[in-house]
Structure formats: structure tokens, C-alpha cells
Chains A and B, each alone.
Chain A
Amino acid sequence: MSVLIHSPGTSIGVALVAIHLLSALLGPLFIPYGPTELAGPSLLAPGSSGHLLGTDVIGRDYLTRLVIGGRTSIFVAMLGALSAVVIGGLIGVSAAYIGGFYDDAIMRIVDTKLSIPGVLFVALCVVGFGRSIPVLTIVIAINYMPGALRIIRSQALTQVPLDYVKSARLRGESKLAVIIRELCPNVLEVVVVEFALRTSSAILAVSALSFLGLGISPPTPDWGLMVYEGIRQIYIAPWLVLLPAFFISTLVIGLNFATDGVANALGLDAARGLY
């Protein structure tokens, strides 16, 4: 708690993330329309008492879509980032502990993956395997795995030479036991921070893909998709673009601020960017 008090940035970040999560989960309870329901009397209606933010280009209630629009990308981004960090983390820690050829082989694969631009990789996979939420989640997971793997491995490398690992070896613990019981708890801080950073980056990626028509398919409401749909009306109804963009930015900024604070509290250096 003392972290929140001492750093206003962290409190702002945590508040932003909390607001977004709550509104995505609970918001629809307070809104009478469905996200794909053709609810309005007219297309592109301005705000009124029935539709606070008016309707979109085919007459759906805009506020409903805006509130729900984060759900899919947050879900895909979180699940993708979680798998990336957990699987990548396990491989990274085992590479650090086992070392030798196994480590070399894994790190060269990681290097290869890191040399492919992320967006290009995701776009190609989506084109190749089809546009669906499972494909998107798996592709996001694979895309972020090498970076997370490398960072977690480097943290594990600082632990491997320590005596408690030697003690475990001398007790005759199996490699798996050393990795899971001894090493994993000691890289947990990095894993948490990695997860948060990768999630915020993945939200941006999912939104960008949706905007490009490679992410979430209509009619599912999604911020990136809504920006794309609104862009043709930008001169008559600029809020159709600005509001979802604002929601994306506040969520990502909130996540980054919160992560910074948590990382500082854990004594980690979060200033390193993603790659």
C-alpha cells in the first residue's frame, strides 16, 4: 500500500485499470441495449437522453459498444500475455539452469524469432490460419514469448550460481524440482512485471490488428475496429474515432503506470522497454 501513497503515478495507473476493468465487466448491466442491436431511430444520431453518445453508422447504441469494446481485446491480450510469460518463463528458467547446448539452442531460436517484426509475424499468421479469437490469442502468445523468455532467463541466471541451488542439487532434487521449487519463486517478480508490460503491449497490438482488419471481426464491438469503422465519418462525427482511441490509450497508459509502480516496489528496473 505504501507504494500507492508515495507515488501518484502508480495510484493513477491502478485507478485507470480498475475503472476500465469494472466498466467492461459491469457496464452492460446499466445499459438497456445490446452491443449489436439496431437500437436507434436513425443512423449517426447525435447524443440524446435515449442514447447518451448517439448511434453509430448503422444505428447501434454507441455507448454500449464503447463500454463493451474493450472486453475482447483485454481478454485476448491477457490470455496471450499470460501464456507467453508462463510458458516462456518455464523455458527460460530451465535454459538458465540446464545451460549448455539446450540453452544455446533455445536462445538461437529466440534470436531468430526476435529478428522478425512482431506485427508482420502476427499479420501473416492471422492471414494464414484465419481470423478467429483462438488463433489471435495463440499468435499473440507466440509473438511475446521470446522477449519474456529472454528477460526471465536473465533473471534466473542471477539465481543459478547461488548456494541454495547447489544445496538442492546436493539433496538430489531432480532438475524439474529445482526449476519449479527453487528457481521459479525467485523469478516471480520479473514474471509479474513482464506479464503486465506484455499485456499492455498486446492490447495495442490487438487494436492495431483490428484496425487493419486482421484482428477481431465485426460485428463484435472492439475499440480498434470502431476506430476503423468511424474513420470514414471523421469529419461529421469525430467522436466515433476519438472516443475508442481515448479508451485504448487510457487503458495502456494506466497499465504502464501501474506496472512501473509495482516494479519499483519490487526493486526492479522497469525502465527497459519491450522489444
Chain B
Amino acid sequence: MLWAWTPPAAFTERVMSLLNLKNLTVGYINPSGELVPAVKDVSFCLEKGETLGIVGESGCGKSTLARAILGYCRPGSFIMGGEALFEGKDILQMSSSQLRDLRGQRIAMVPQNPLSSLTYHMKVGSQVDEILKIHRGMDSKAARIHTLELFAGTNLPDPDQIYDRYPHEISGGQRQRVVIAGALACQPAIMVLDEPTTALDTTTEIQVLKLVKDLRQENDMALIYITHDLTLTDYICENVLVMLDGKIVEQGRVANIFKHPQTDYSKMLIAAIPRVDAKSGADAFLPATGAPKPLLKVDRLNFRYGQRRSLTAIFKTQEEPLAVKNVSFDLEHGETIGLVGESGSGKSTIANIICGLLTPTTGNILFDSQPINTTAEKRSLDFRKRIQIIFQDPLSSLNPRHRIETILTRPLKIFFGLKGKAARDRAIELLEAMELLPEHLSRFPRQLSGGQQQRVAIACAFAAKPDLILCDEVTSALDVSVQAHVLELLKAIQEKTGVACVFISHDLGVVKQVANKVIVLQKGVVAEAGTTGDVFEKPAHNYTRLLLAAASRENHDPGC
């Protein structure tokens, strides 16, 4: 008897990959109305428990691809063709209720910017609770207990306290850990991480990555890790895809690509990584001129958050711990000091106090021998002009509704009274110093790439002709290759203007490149201070060694 044997459904599913992308193409509508593909013909398979890295510069279609895996397109973008089979079912054909069950529960996503993925007006604890209640049907009590476990699991200090905070009350690193806790809540089959650790410092990054790695092994969870940073894929992934202009240009085992990159693009990405073991760039910057009086003198600075005047303050019996404890340092004209430490160590708080966003609880800040212990509003125009800050995320620091011209000419008008053509000419000059073009003046920030935006932000800070510039993680939102360019420009303009700089970064490689002196902060306390050479070559404090070890491990030791 002849009969055709058809395999049972369960069997085919078993041999099928967990996720199978076939010729996926996603396009955007550009301003002139044409549909332009951002992801072109991408195909790959992801097996259970596999970790796959997707690397490429910003704009190469990584994030668009990540969204398509969740069956989501940004407004203005469309899936033009292809399939995304998850356990044999095409995600792109699913109904919205099927997608709701899929997202969060089976495929979870950790997006890039934790500030925009958390709701401002809800306590972070309740945001994770919500996921557990909806997807796992827990009641409030069980959800709270589980959330606290998740928080503890993601190394959040004092889960009980963090639970009741709002997103703006915790540091960037803590925020991202909350988001990761939320993504882990349903123990998904696939976790898509879109540049999740870009905003974290080295040690936290390693901890979080290690945690994700452990969880992956426990739950047999597959990971898709999207990043511009090759070193990270090296640490966490088995396989890697390198993307350029929406296409996959290279794929294979991470170790192979790292050792023998095949394409020029991969070689360039590997070469652009700043290394802790590279030559110190301290001599490249103007050395201290030996002025008799320091430009900036920070004297026993203390700061405590939570000095609020609201009703809730009355009910707070416990005082917040000091975020900055007894920090002192001097900065000469033209010198660069690097502030390093993990997130929550008080680096940004110090910058915010110096520039006048926060008032110190106690302690003194002398700028040009005059005390500036007040907020910016109470400082004189001269002081406001002479101290400028560049923030981490240019998309947030440039008003999205203003053209670049408006953004650049505003400080010129306020500080120098320049108007009309004079202001415009000066703005063009500033743009050109940052290797941007005059036609960028008429653009909106969103029409520029991340690197261009940050260069505009730098131009805007230098528009005031400052004596002191505070760089708060200026390159951590940028790709490695773009980062190198921005640092070079920053260095050039600093040499030209002789401005002093407080350079805050969690990236020790970058700090080593730019700073003459380094201060290592741990939980608001100075752990170690000294010249860049001393601190990096002969670290005296355990914490510094730990940071250095974490940084060099990330650079050298694949797959630890």
C-alpha cells in the first residue's frame, strides 16, 4: 500500500528554527514621498538559546530590523516584503491580538533609551508590576514580590527604595536595569536588546551583560543583541551579523570576525575602538600653563537629593544619602580633568552643580576666585557665559522644534547681542569649525545624524566663548567611529580656544585619550585622584583597578 507520510506538526516545529527571517525588507517614506528601503533583503535564523549580535553604525537599519522582529514598524515605515517566522508562524501576518500576546511575553525588547521607555508619571516598581499582572495574571501582592526579586536580580541597589521611585529619580544605569527587569518578567523565548548598555558605565555594563547571559542559560532564552560596539558582541554573542546600509555584509562566529575581519567595514569598526592600553593622549591637550590661581576650585562639595518643598517631603522620615560627599579638586586654565565612575557615582551631579542646575548642600565652588554656589538664574551673565555644558544625548539637548539656526543664534544674541546677519555669519563659522555645512542651519535636529547633532551641541556650547566646558558623557550615545571624530573635533577646538574642560565619562579609554588629570568617583566619594598616567598605570585604589580590569576585559577577553 502506497501512502504519503506527512510529518506531524510537532515534528516540523521541532526542526524549525525559533526565529527565521526570510528576505525581510522594510522601507521608509522619505520627505519627497518615495519609499526607500532601510533594511534590504535580510535573512537569518536564530536557534533556541542562541545569542546573535547585530552590529553596524547608526542609520544602518539595526533598530528598524529589531522592531520588525516584534512585528512593529515606526510610523512612516512599511514592511515591503519577506517573512519573519517565529516558531513557524509569520509575525508579519499576525493579528493585533496575537501580536499583543507575542510581544513582551514571547519576544521582549529592551530599547535604547530607558528614559523614553519608562513612563514619567508612574513609579518604576508599578511599571514592572503591570507587566506581571497583565501577562502572568499575578495579583498586586505577588507582582510586588516578584518585581522586587527581578530588581534584586538586575543588581539594583535597595530594590525596596527603587520600587517607589519615579524614573527621573534614579540614574540612567538604574533606569536601564529597571527596563531589563521588565523585559525579563515573562521569561521570553527571545529577548531583543537594542543598544541597551550604551548609557551604562563599564562595570555596570559587565554586570548587566553577565546577568543577561546567566538568565539566557537558565531559561534557554535566545538573545538578539544590537549594538554599534563590537567589543560587546565579543563579550556576549556567539554569532554576529555586520550590517551596512540595511544589508548584511558579513556574518559568522564572533571570534572569527574579530580575528579575521573579511570586509573593510568590519576592519574599520574594529580599528575605531578606543583602548585603555593605548597611548595616553594627555600630552595632546594643552598642558597646564601653571597659572597662579586655578580657574575652578571645588572645595569639600556635598550634595543630597530630595530637598523638595512638596507635601511628600513631610512624610519622608528617612533622609536620602549624600550623592556627592566631600569632593574637592582644582582645575587650571586649558586643562582637562576626567571624572570617571559607574552610574550613580555622582559624576553628573557634580557637573550639574558646577553649571548651576543644582545648589550644593554644603561646600564651595570658586570660579576665577569668586564663589558660585547658586543656581544659574542667580549668577551673573558673565558667569553663565563662561561656563557651558554639553549633555549626553543631543536629541534631548537640542529643541526638536527649532531649526539649527535658531538654536545657534540664541546664545549669540543673549551673550553677545548679535542679531540678524552678524549672528548668522558667526553661526556658520561655528558650524564650519565642527565640520558641518552652512546648509545645516535650516535643518531640524532630527534631520541630522547622531554625530552631527552632537557636533551642533558642541558648537552651541562654544558659541558663548566659554572658559570652562563641562562634557557630560558627550560621546556615549555615539558610534565608535563617530565618537572618534567628535573627540578629535572637540580636542581641536579646545586647543584653539584654550578652554578648560571637565570630561565626564564611564569609558576609561576615552578619558585616557583626553584628560590630563583623572578623578575616580565611587558612590559620591573620591576614590582616587591624580594625573592620567599615574592613575591608569599605577592605580592605588581597589575600585580603580576593578574599573580598569572591567574595561580591559571588555577589550581583550572574548566570551568570558
Contact = CB atoms under 8 A, between A and B. Distances in A.
Interface stretch (B227-235, B275-283, B388-396, B525-533): B388-396
Interface string A253-275: 00000000000110100000000
Contacts of A265: 75
Interface stretch (B398-406, B420-428, B488-496): B398-406
A185 B356 contact: no
Given A100-B310, A161-B120, A171 B411 contact: yes
Contacts of B355: 170
A100 B309 CA distance: 7
Contacts of A170: 355-357, 376, 384, 388-389
B10 to A, nearest CB: 40
A2 B414 contact: no
A172 B414 contact: yes
A171 B414 contact: yes
A169 interface: yes
B96 to A, nearest CB: 13
A185 B399 contact: yes
Contacts of A171: 384, 410-411, 414-415
Contacts of A164: 396-400
Interface of B: 29, 33, 75, 115, 120-121, 168, 309-311, 355-357, 376-377, 379, 381, 384, 388-389, 391-393, 396-402, 410-411, 414-415, 460
A217 interface: no
Contacts of B389: 167, 170
B391 A172 contact: no
Contacts of B311: 104
A154 B356 contact: no
A30 interface: no
A158 interface: yes
Nearest 8 A-B pairs (CB), nearest first? Answer: A185-B401, A163-B397, A163-B391, A164-B399, A163-B396, A162-B396, A170-B376, A172-B384
Nearest to B357: A166
A91 interface: no
A158 B120 contact: yes
Nearest to A100: B309
Contact of B401 (A169, A173, A188): A188
A101 interface: yes
Given A163-B391, A170-B355, 10 more contacts: A2-B33, A104-B310, A161-B120, A161-B168, A164-B398, A167-B460, A169-B376, A169-B377, A171-B414, A188-B401
B377 A154 contact: no
Given A2-B29, A171-B384, A171-B410, A166 B391 contact: yes
Nearest to B78: A6
B111 to A, nearest CB: 16
A42 interface: no
13 contacts: A2-B33, A161-B115, A161-B120, A162-B396, A163-B392, A166-B357, A166-B391, A167-B391, A167-B460, A169-B357, A169-B377, A171-B410, A173-B414
Interface string A155-193: 001100111101101111100000000100110100000
B399 A182 contact: yes
Given A154-B121, A163-B391, A172-B414, A186 B399 contact: yes
B376 A172 contact: yes
Contacts of B410: 171
Given A161-B168, A172-B377, A267-B75, A186 B29 contact: no
Contact of B402 (A161, A163, A185, A188): A185
Contacts of B415: 171
A171 B414 CA distance: 8
B376 A101 contact: no
Contacts of A154: 121
Nearest to B115: A161
Interface in A98-132: 100-101, 104
Contacts of B120: 157-158, 161
A172 B381 contact: yes
B250 to A, nearest CB: 35
A182 B397 CA distance: 11
A100 B415 CA distance: 30
B73 to A, nearest CB: 12
A15 B376 CA distance: 52
Pick from B398, B399, B415 the residue with the most CB of A within 10 Å.
B399
A101 B357 contact: no
Nearest to B378: A172
A104 B313 CA distance: 14
Contacts of A267: 75
Contacts of A2: 29, 33
A167 B381 contact: no
B400 A186 contact: yes
A186 B391 CA distance: 19
Contacts of A162: 396-397
A90 to B, nearest CB: 16
Contacts of B121: 154, 157
A267 B33 CA distance: 18
A265 B75 CA distance: 8
B107 to A, nearest CB: 23
Contacts of B309: 100-101
Interface in A1-47: 2
A157 B121 CA distance: 9
Contacts of A182: 399
A264 B75 CA distance: 9
Contacts of A185: 399, 401-402
A186 B357 contact: no
Nearest to B387: A170
A167 B464 CA distance: 12
Nearest to B352: A166
B427 to A, nearest CB: 15
A150 to B, nearest CB: 12
A47 to B, nearest CB: 47
